[in-house]
Amino acid sequence: MQHPSYKIAILSRNKSLYSTKRLIETIENKGHEAVILDHLKCDIVIEQDRPSIYYMGERLKGIDAVIPRIGASVTFYGAAVVRQFEMMNVPTAVESQALVRSRDKLRSLQILARANVGMPKTVFTNYSKEVKKIIDSVGGAPLIVKLLEGTQGYGVVLAPTKKAAESIIEAFHSMKARVIVQEFIEEAKGADIRAFIIDNKVVGAMKRQGKEGEFRSNLHQGGTGELIKLSKEERKVALTAAKAMGLSVAGVDMLQSERGPLVLEVNSSPGLEGIEKTTNKDIASEVISYVEKLIENSKLKKNKKFKSNA
């Protein structure tokens, strides 16, 4: 089915990144116009009944949808820009509320636990002196210590022994750095699964293996990806996790454990490079098809509203 031409904005700070380039290319191949906006250069004008955004001094007009590609370090401002587009009735591939939720590691884990999603045992404390108790409550060493603000595998430390775990936790606490302590899933053997979800469907999945002697499997850290077919349970857990977080576009990271799939995190700006190259699938095209659907649903709603007011 041929769609009318739309103006789709990508909120990205770097148009030469693989994910951003692929989205631009796909938008243009489908006959639409791609606009790249650096969200940090967007000025938000808050006014009753007339919310607007200015970019490089010009008021933004005629944008049919936005695709947020917002880095963790600028979540606060990026989410405010997405929220402003929502106030202007512009549909977005990732909602502002879900974006904020997904970036708060602790809140994410609480939401997933409430949705009955399996995950490694996790402890968070307010710089507690009871370090030995914390270690015991996740099953002892080895264990994982994660900085609450870490991303792409940075700020994640494996403590091989109780002694090392105590030192690491105490060091972070003395720096007033907030951490979560998590059970180490040995049988995962340094590998995890990334399920890429769009509109409540798994559109691709890969297994990421950490390099020799490395427990983190992030591709940014030199890990490798291979194609994988998800089990029924893995698929169900990934979809439940994305839904619980309110994300229609998400990368769900899971570990394979003896007690079933365990979710590590749900990513609201999953990269396209690893998943496209590993699965050989055109994931960017799936994203844009979803955005077209959002725009059409939004236009239908506006028409219905207009007719009921007429």
d(CA 63, CA 86): 12
pLDDT at position 219: 55
> For residue 260, how far is the Cα from the chain centroid?
22
Question: Residue 203 — φ and ψ, nearest 5°?
Answer: -100, -5
pTM of the model: 0.90
- Alpha-helical (H) ranges within the chain are 18-29, 75-87, 96-103, 105-114, 131-137, 162-174, 232-245, 273-279, 283-309
Q: Which domains does the chain have, with CATH numbers?
A: 7-94 (3.40.50.20), 104-117+187-268 (3.30.470.20), 122-184 (3.30.1490.20)
Digits of tens for pLDDT over the chain (310 positions)? 567 899 999 999 999 999 999 999 999 999 999 999 999 999 999 988 899 999 999 999 999 999 999 998 899 999 999 999 999 999 999 999 999 999 998 899 999 999 999 999 999 988 788 899 999 999 999 999 988 876 555 788 899 999 999 999 999 888 888 889 999 999 988 889 999 999 999 999 999 887 765 655 555 555 788 999 999 999 999 999 999 999 999 999 999 999 999 999 999 999 999 999 999 999 999 999 999 999 999 988 877 766 666 5
The pairing of strands 122-124 and 65-68 is unpaired
Residue 297's CB: how many other CB atoms inside 10 A?
A: 11
Question: Residue 118 — φ and ψ, nearest 5°?
Answer: -65, 140
pLDDT at position 149: 73
